Amino acid sequence: GQQLNQSPQSMFIQEGEDVSMNCTSSSIFNTWLWYKQDPGEGPVLLIALYKAGELTSNGRLTAQFGITRKDSFLNISASIPSDVGIYFCAGQGRIVNQFYFGTGTSLTVIP
């Protein structure tokens, strides 16, 4: 199945720093989703984006739907220890009800 290119693969940052990660695809998507997965749990939806150029925030998280509809990024501001986890992007086309996932970004926040 198709996988999205997500980068970076892992990040080690100091508490309080900002984080940025992105996802690119060779295909156009109509929906971009960002998830966080804690150890032993299922991915939890953080932000959903539905329009090219859309910028959406959820607390300290901000995500954007790229203008080309082939990319998206997620920013986390002022990171805290509970931000630790694996972040996944996912894209969905307009007709096909299938979600394609990125390879994940593992985030470690050092107190």
Partner 1 sequence: DAGVIQSPRHEVTEMGQEVTLRCKPISGHNSLFWYRQTMMRGLELLIYFNNNVPIDDSGMPEDRFSAKMPNASFSTLKIQPSEPRDSAVYFCASSFKLAGGPGELFFGEGSRLTVL
Interface residues with partner 1 (CB under 8 A) are: 1, 3, 30-31, 33, 35, 40-45, 48, 50, 88, 90, 92, 94-95, 97-99, 101, 103-104
Rounded Cα distance between 62 and 104, Å, is: 17
Smallest separation (angstroms) from partner 1 to the CB of 16: 30
Smallest separation (angstroms) from partner 1 to the CB of 45: 6
Sole residue written with tokens 């107190």: 111
Name the phi and psi angles at 83, rounded to 5.
Answer: -75, -10
Residue whose CB is less far from partner 1, 31 or 75: 31
Residue whose CB is less far from partner 1, 79 or 104: 104
Residue whose CB is less far from partner 1, 84 or 86: 86
Sheet holding 19-24, edge to edge: 5-7, 19-24, 71-76, 61-65, 55-58
Tokens standing for 76?
A: 């986390």
